[in-house]
């Protein structure tokens, strides 16, 4: 039986459970150490939550192909696998949240940023999401909400792993940073942007990069006159810890990507559960073809083909974008 993913700004219950589950995963240490993961510095346990940060960074640092790749396509971005890889990642987080919450009916909520994007730039900053009753606001570090860092409280939300200027994993001990609309991008995508995403076909096409036409590249946000667009624009608008490869450090990462997944699901219900490139595409596209294994820290292996139809696992309360 499938669960339902809901709009976090329309459900105080979803907001509360999401924040509570994130904090539990942040303080669960049952896996590898930093030494096991090849991260320099003292050997320390890595929380379940931070394993997702490591997973995302490693995928971004895995170029596809490994050489001769001037466009920067990697194992999770800048190519066809973008939507499928993040769908798989979201599902793994959702299952872990269900486990620590003891609630198998919990669905990972989404943030409909295009609805906020319909408001004025100043009103966007006043969204309920950024209130103390939401996920907290802006700051270096943020000073409100459930993810505030308290140096004397080891159970408070803290960033323990991020990346250096070269994109390499490193150990830190600090609060969560956000700089809403502080990067020069002053507004979120709006509903006309999301509506356009549903109209664009095919899913993806040659050259399978940041210059491609089609749904994936537009949804990821590499095209558009006012770029960055869509998903990329949300990352840049939020700023702070949402900017580098270690962007899953900010829990809003998952609310953003859940909405991206919702838009992709709406597109597939309109245009068919299709994906390209196919299995016989050139080896230079390895990692992005329909039957290639997704870069992962879990087993057994999952392919894009496996995640095209997930309606037996979850559905959305609305596919209106």
Per-residue pLDDT at 220: 98
Per-residue pLDDT at 47: 98
Tens digits of residue pLDDT in 270-300: 999 999 999 999 999 999 999 999 999 887 8
Q: What is the Cα–Cα distance from 308 to 290, expressed in whole angstroms? A: 10
- Give strand ranges (E) for the chain: 3-5, 159-163, 169-174, 314-316
Model pTM greater than 0.85? yes
Per-residue pLDDT at 71: 81
Q: What is the Cα–Cα distance from 77 to 59, expressed in whole angstroms? A: 8
Shortest CA distance to 245 belongs to which of 179, 172, 168, 153? 168
Distance of CA 293 to the CA centre of its chain: 19
Q: Are 274 and 17 in contact (CB under 8 A)?
A: no
Domains and CATH numbers, the chain: 3-308 (1.10.1280.10)
Q: Are 111 and 259 in contact (CB under 8 A)?
A: yes
Per-residue pLDDT at 227: 82
Per-residue pLDDT at 226: 76
**Contacts of residue 141, Cβ cutoff 8 Å, sequence gap at least 6:** 148, 149, 174, 175, 176, 177
Per-residue pLDDT at 66: 82
Tens digits of residue pLDDT in 102-134: 999 999 999 999 999 999 999 999 999 999 999
Q: What is the Cα–Cα distance from 285 to 177, expressed in whole angstroms? A: 35
Place of tokens 């894009």: 304
Per-residue pLDDT at 208: 95
Residues of the chain whose pLDDT is less than 50? Answer: none
Per-residue pLDDT at 1: 79
Per-residue pLDDT at 68: 76
């Amino acid at each position: 039986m499938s669960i339902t993913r809901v709009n976090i700004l329309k459900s105080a219950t979803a907001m509360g459970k999401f924040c509570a589950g994130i904090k539990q995963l942040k303080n669960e240490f049952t896996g590898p150490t930093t030494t096991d993961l090849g991260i320099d510095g003292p050997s320390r346990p890595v929380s379940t939550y931070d394993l997702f940060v490591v997973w995302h960074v490693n995928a971004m640092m895995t170029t596809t192909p490994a050489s001769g790749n001037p466009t920067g396509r990697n194992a999770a971005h800048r190519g066809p696998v973008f939507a499928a890889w993040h769908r798989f990642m979201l599902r793994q987080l959702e299952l872990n949240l269900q486990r620590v919450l003891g609630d198998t009916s919990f669905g990972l909520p989404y943030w409909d940023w295009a609805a906020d994007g319909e408001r004025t730039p100043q009103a966007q900053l006043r969204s309920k999401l950024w209130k103390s009753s939401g996920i907290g606001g802006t700051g270096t570090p943020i000073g409100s909400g459930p993810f505030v860092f308290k140096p004397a409280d080891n159970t408070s939300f803290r960033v323990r792993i991020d990346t250096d200027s070269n994109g390499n994993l490193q150990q830190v001990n600090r609060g969560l940073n956000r700089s809403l609309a502080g990067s020069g991008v002053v507004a979120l995508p709006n509903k006309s942007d999301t509506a356009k995403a549903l109209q664009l076909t095919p899913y993806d096409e040659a050259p399978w990069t940041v210059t491609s036409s089609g749904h994936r590249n537009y949804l990821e946000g590499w095209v558009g006159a006012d770029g960055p667009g869509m998903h990329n624009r949300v990352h840049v608008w939020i700023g702070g810890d949402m900017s580098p490869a270690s962007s899953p450090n900010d829990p809003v990462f998952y609310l953003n990507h859940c909405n991206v997944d919702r838009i992709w699901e709406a597109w597939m219900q309109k245009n068919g559960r299709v994906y390209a490139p196919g299995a016989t595409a050139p080896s230079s596209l390895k990692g992005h073809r329909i039957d290639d294994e997704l870069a992962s820290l879990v087993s057994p292996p999952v392919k894009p083909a496996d995640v095209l139809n997930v309606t037996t696992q979850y559905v959305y309360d609305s596919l209106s974008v």
